[in-house]
Amino acid sequence: MSRTDAVTRILFEAFTAAEVRLFYLLGYAAIAVFLYGAYVQIRKYRRGAALKLEGSIPARLGAMFSSVLSHRTIDRRDPAAGGAHRLIFYGFLLLFAGTATITLEYDILEPLFGIRFWHGEFYLVFSLVLDVAGVALIAGLMFMMYRRGWMHLPKLDYARPDRVPGDPDFNRPQYRREDWAFLWILVIIACTGYVLEAARLVWLHARADIWDTRWWSPVGALLAQGMRAMGLGADGAGLLRHGLWWFHGLIALVLIALIPYTKVKHIFTAAASLMVRDPLAAQRLPRVPESQEQAGAAKITDFNWKQLLNLDACTKCGRCHEACPARAVGAPLSPRDVILSLREFAHATLESGAIPAAAELDIHGKAPGQVAMETLWSCRTCMACVEICPVAVEHVPIIVQMRRKLVEEGAMDPLLTKTLQTIHKTGNSFGESKRKRGAWSKGLPFPVKDARKEPVDVLWFVGDYASFEPRNQKVSQVFASLLQEAGVDFGILYDGESNAGNDVRRVGEEGLYEVLATANVNALSGANFKSVVTTDPHSFNTIRNEYPDFGGKYEIEHYTTLAKRLFAEGRLKVTNPLKYRVTFHDPCHLGRFNKGYDAPRELLALLGCELIEMGRCKANSFCCGAGGGRIWVPDPVGAEKPAQNRMKEAAAIAGLEVYVVSCPKDLTMFEDALKTTGNEGKFVVKELIELIREAIPARSTEELPA
């Protein structure tokens, strides 16, 4: 046997039999504590409502591994944290795998089958790999410590916008302690590992197979050289090794035992959460089963097991906190704190042997763990939180399900109550007569086909704002004339159309949504058309993603893709290139919800505009504040509105001429914000449709609506 063949991992050398037995005992105890904790957690999730997942398990596993191994979701908008986490993740994974393989050989393969592989070159290479992994782990941990301790990132500040200083759960200092304890325990495990390795080398330096191959453990060897240079002898090193062995071993066992009880559990919960991720979580809200007595979530057990798992997956990274438009303007909402409150609530109520009485499971209110209605109503369901969450927490359906319960109780702003009643009565949020829905088309020099009466190629679902709001009616007229000039055979449903219901559903008025969706699906099925187009991203989202649940499957597109095609086919031609310097606001429901980022930008390029992006664009676009029914509820007086916050961002672009939107609600919100932020006269807010019109002057001005 050559010298390197003999070399192997020194395990229990110089241990008494009693010591080894003690270690095994402690090891089993740690595993037992871990298993019990895991059982309690799984029992907690199982106490949630049932949910049947769609999609195959292999596909879900594939998606999960792809996210976890690539760290794609952690890198987003914070590549430094992503990189450091990657070092920790792979470092930890390799070191754990190393330890696990030793167990595999020592406790299973060798005693049962006499198989040994943990020696010779395999051992040496692995020991090099593990030494490097340890460096990676420590480097990652150091950066995370620096980040927590010195970078002062607002997203890592646990102060809550829905609490005031002095409240027992205002900034949760126990989280901070846990964060640091987690970092320190890993640092200590890694560092003692190296010192232990060095002490072992010094202790056994007389054995050539060990000492001569020491550079396969470069960090340990370096430390060993140092120890020897400082005069540490074999006996002293043996003593040090013995003591450190126990220290290192015990602390590692403690970490394993504590996994299910601490934030360390994210190792499992985050991966599981990614595995059960719903790619349409916010786009397609869950239906309320007919048989369900009560709509929405009143008790913690009204959430399904996946949502309870979501709560535990949160790592408090604060990305949703940072992205939330309500939080940004000081509203009492942070998506992070909704999740953490509910997590604390589930922890307090669902982890003991018996589930407490229903009254103690009420998640609505102001006590620690409960969520206040002011918090729930602050949400604009813009999906910024869901979109950025690295561990697939789905905040929006949780918030909407809680709102459903508030709606049942009527616990909402009186203006919202009024609007819902109006929509029920008239089918639109403006309280206008149903008959007037198509009235905007009367100003056109040509009749718009009634799709209920004659077949059309393209059915235009107009939506409330584009139908009734005067400023948007003008845009609708322009779009109609563009379609007409491009020779598109189109029509509208006139008073057969109702409010699409997207925002009604996001308010939480599921019953009214069902009425509206059913009415529209019936109206659409009575018409003869090939595809649907809409200028309203809200209608677009619900028709595209939610109407299929009501039996309405249509080919639908937002006008930006239709317009792009009309240009590509030469049916629309730019004759008057615009030289504007513009910026584009991605509507939530077109961009984040439905990934329609490109068509509007390609159109702007076609029109000859110079597009300067805002910092928050595309997936990170900043909500105008109108979503989730908030357009029907005035924002608090004096406080900044999301649209104003956005206008300030746009105003910082030097030489900006046009702030381009492609959503009727955006036009309303931002034209208002332009004035209230004092930017009127500096630049203008325009619908992309209006820019297209400008680039294609109508054949004669008489043809244009006034």
Partner 1 sequence: MKILVAVKQVAALDEDFSIRDDGRGVDPDFLIRDLNEWDDFSLEEAVKIKEAATEPVEVVVVSVGSDEVDESLRKCLAKGADRAIRVWDSAIEGSDSIAVARVLAATVQREAPDMLFAGVQSSDQSFASTGIATAGFLGWPHAAVVSNLTLAAGTKSAVFRRELEGGLLHEVEIQCPAVLTIQLGINTPRYASLRSIKQASAKPIEVLSLADIALGAADVGEAGSLSRVRRMYVPDMGRAQLIEGSAAQQAARLAEIIREFKGAAA
Q: What does the binding site for partner 1 look like in residue numbers (CB under 8 A)?
A: 288, 295, 407-410, 412, 414, 417, 420-421, 424-426, 432-436, 509-512, 514-515
- The residue (of 217 and 467) whose beta carbon lies closer to partner 1 is 467
Q: Is the dihedral of CA 526, 529, 530, 534 positive or negative?
A: negative
Cβ–Cβ < 8 Å for 669, 471: no
- The residue (of 295 and 582) whose beta carbon lies closer to partner 1 is 295
Question: CB of 414: closest distance to partner 1 in angstroms?
Answer: 7
Compute the distance between CA of residue 675 and CA of residue 66 in angstroms, rounded to an integer. Answer: 47
The structure tokens listed for 141 are: 């941990």
Strand 658-661 and strand 684-687: pairing?
parallel
- The residue (of 469 and 509) whose beta carbon lies closer to partner 1 is 509
The structure tokens listed for 110 are: 């060798």
Cβ–Cβ < 8 Å for 437, 423: no
Q: Which stretches within 469-590 are classed as H helix?
A: 470-485, 502-507, 510-525, 537-541, 559-568
- The residue (of 56 and 291) whose beta carbon lies closer to partner 1 is 291
Q: Find how far residue 341's CA is from the centre of its chain.
A: 17
- Residue 362, SS3 per DSSP: strand
- The residue (of 83 and 511) whose beta carbon lies closer to partner 1 is 511
**335-338 long-range CB contacts below 8 Å, 24 or more apart?**
335/379, 335/385, 335/395, 335/399, 336/385, 337/160, 337/161, 337/162, 337/375, 338/371, 338/375, 338/395, 338/398, 338/399
| Residue 165 burial class via C-beta count within 10 angstroms: exposed 0-12, middle 13-18, buried 19 and up | exposed
Question: CB of 540: closest distance to partner 1 in angstroms?
Answer: 24
- How far apart, in Å, are the Cα atoms of 397 and each of 47, 307, 335, 588? 19, 9, 12, 16
Cβ–Cβ < 8 Å for 249, 471: no
**96-100 long-range CB contacts below 8 Å, 24 or more apart?**
98/126, 98/129, 98/130, 98/133, 99/252
- The residue (of 419 and 621) whose beta carbon lies closer to partner 1 is 419
* N residues, the chain: 706
**96-102 long-range CB contacts below 8 Å, 24 or more apart?**
98/126, 98/129, 98/130, 98/133, 99/252, 101/126, 102/9, 102/11
- The residue (of 179 and 503) whose beta carbon lies closer to partner 1 is 503
- The residue (of 509 and 546) whose beta carbon lies closer to partner 1 is 509
Q: Which of 497, 1, 15 is nearest to 242 (CA)?
A: 15
Question: CB of 437: closest distance to partner 1 in angstroms?
Answer: 11
- The residue (of 293 and 702) whose beta carbon lies closer to partner 1 is 293
The structure tokens listed for 369 are: 């763990």
Question: Which residues lie closer than 8 Å to 322 by C-beta, 6 or more apart?
Answer: 154, 155, 388
Question: CB of 435: closest distance to partner 1 in angstroms?
Answer: 6
Question: CB of 514: closest distance to partner 1 in angstroms?
Answer: 7
Compute the distance between CA of residue 665 and CA of residue 621 in angstroms, rounded to an integer. Answer: 15
The structure tokens listed for 535 are: 């200028």
- The residue (of 213 and 498) whose beta carbon lies closer to partner 1 is 498
Cβ–Cβ < 8 Å for 687, 667: yes
Compute the distance between CA of residue 265 and CA of residue 377 in angstroms, rounded to an integer. Answer: 31
Question: CB of 495: closest distance to partner 1 in angstroms?
Answer: 11
- The residue (of 5 and 409) whose beta carbon lies closer to partner 1 is 409
- The residue (of 43 and 424) whose beta carbon lies closer to partner 1 is 424
Instruction: Give the DSSP letter of residue 107.
Output: I
Cβ–Cβ < 8 Å for 335, 655: no
Question: CB of 496: closest distance to partner 1 in angstroms?
Answer: 16
- The residue (of 351 and 413) whose beta carbon lies closer to partner 1 is 413
Cβ–Cβ < 8 Å for 105, 116: yes
Question: CB of 410: closest distance to partner 1 in angstroms?
Answer: 4
Question: CB of 542: closest distance to partner 1 in angstroms?
Answer: 16
Question: CB of 503: closest distance to partner 1 in angstroms?
Answer: 15
Q: Which stretches within 204-304 are classed as H helix?
A: 208-211, 218-229, 234-258, 266-275
Question: CB of 401: closest distance to partner 1 in angstroms?
Answer: 13
Cβ–Cβ < 8 Å for 68, 274: yes
Question: CB of 266: closest distance to partner 1 in angstroms?
Answer: 37
The structure tokens listed for 567 are: 């240009």
Question: CB of 588: closest distance to partner 1 in angstroms?
Answer: 25
- The residue (of 362 and 408) whose beta carbon lies closer to partner 1 is 408
- The residue (of 77 and 434) whose beta carbon lies closer to partner 1 is 434
Question: Which residues lie closer than 8 Å to 60 by C-beta, 6 or more apart?
Answer: 53, 275, 276, 277
Cβ–Cβ < 8 Å for 44, 260: no
Question: CB of 515: closest distance to partner 1 in angstroms?
Answer: 6
- The residue (of 152 and 435) whose beta carbon lies closer to partner 1 is 435
Q: Find how far residue 630's CA is from the centre of its chain.
A: 21
Instruction: Give the DSSP letter of residue 678.
Output: T
Question: CB of 484: closest distance to partner 1 in angstroms?
Answer: 26
Question: CB of 406: closest distance to partner 1 in angstroms?
Answer: 10
